[in-house]
Amino acid sequence: MDFRTIVKIAQADFAIEPFEQMLFVGSCFADSIGKRFQEERFRVTVNPFGVMYNPVSILHTIERVGDGQTRWRVAVLTLGTNHVYVEKATGEVVDNCGKRPAHLFEERELTVGECVENLSRAIDILRERDGVEKVIVTVSPIRYAKYGFHGSQLSKAVLLLATDELARKYPDVVTYFPAYEIVNDELRDYRFYAPDMLHPSEQAVEYIWERLSNTYFSAKTRHFIEEYHPIKAALAHRPFHPESAEYQQFLAQTNEKLEVLMRKYGE
């Protein structure tokens, strides 16, 4: 008997290679996954102007981040909410209220159409200015208790509908990765949540990483990570006497192994 439902994910029509240049923009879930890519030696940029939860703020980051020189082949956009804060004096959506008084802002919700419009503009900029070929879009599984759990589900529903429209609009560019569904439909147990019972636990993030790897990584990338992990563990080792000649020799030998491995895989 099988006591859980597995979210089926189709194999992507492209592969992420070792040391791939990637851009991550979005919620704190983008931070978690993006940092994991950094740890595995991918050349990634993660939320350069801070965490961005909604499609308008994601667009703002993408408008600011590009310099026409940096080239990302793959971008990952993680949507957290459709709620935005509008500055009453200007009518503009702000990315951060900057600890200013709440009465200066009005909270409202983006429609599905507005989400699609802003994300489409972001994707067009990434393709035309930065050379992005593929965009992975995902909805953060983190629930927003402050909206009430029904309100949180409604917010996620808007984002899910928007990502579906994006995938239909850009069939050769946009791919949807079901992180939201994995946590809510596959990992349906509180042991997969952090102590706040809202954020995914480290174990859940690790499982999502595994599913993402199987979906997008090339065989070459998986082989590199497998060979890199012993070196990564060695470099993370904290000795009692870091100044000792023995440890310095160990460190030099480990770094030499890393250089050999990087050259082997084309870095």
Q: Are 252 and 4 in contact (CB under 8 A)?
A: no
User: Which pLDDT score is estimated for 144?
Assistant: 87
User: Which pLDDT score is estimated for 104?
Assistant: 95
Q: Name the fold adopted by 21-217.
A: Rossmann fold (3.40.50)
Residue 200 φ/ψ, nearest 5 degrees:
-65, 145
Write the CB contacts of 208 (distance below 8 Å, at least 6 apart in sequence).
33, 179, 182, 183, 200
Domain ranges for the chain: 21-217, 226-264
Interatomic CA distance for residues 133 and 117, integer angstroms: 19
Please, which pLDDT band fits residue 182 given cuts at 50, 70 and 90? very high
How would you class 163 by CB atoms within 10 Å of its CB: exposed for 0-12, middle for 13-18, buried for 19 or more?
buried
- In one-letter notation, the amino acid at residue 197 is M
pTM above 0.75, yes or no: yes
What is the tens place of the pLDDT at every residue in 28-54?
Answer: 888 999 999 999 999 999 999 999 999
Which stretches of the chain are DSSP H helices?
Answer: 28-39, 55-65, 112-130, 149-169, 179-181, 202-216, 219-236, 245-264
SS3 for 134? strand
Interatomic CA distance for residues 202 and 204, integer angstroms: 5
Average pLDDT over residues 58-87: 93
Higher pLDDT, 2 or 65: 65
Sign of CA dihedral 202, 203, 207, 213: positive
User: Which pLDDT score is estimated for 1?
Assistant: 67
What is the tens place of the pLDDT at every residue in 107-156?
Answer: 999 999 999 999 999 999 999 999 999 999 999 998 888 899 899 999 99
User: Which pLDDT score is estimated for 262?
Assistant: 93
Higher pLDDT, 182 or 3: 182
Residue 37: closest CA among 247, 263, 241, 228? 228
What is the tens place of the pLDDT at every residue in 198-233?
Answer: 888 889 999 999 999 999 999 999 999 999 999 999
User: Which pLDDT score is estimated for 29?
Assistant: 85
User: Which pLDDT score is estimated for 199?
Assistant: 83
Please, which pLDDT band fits residue 241 given cuts at 50, 70 and 90? confident
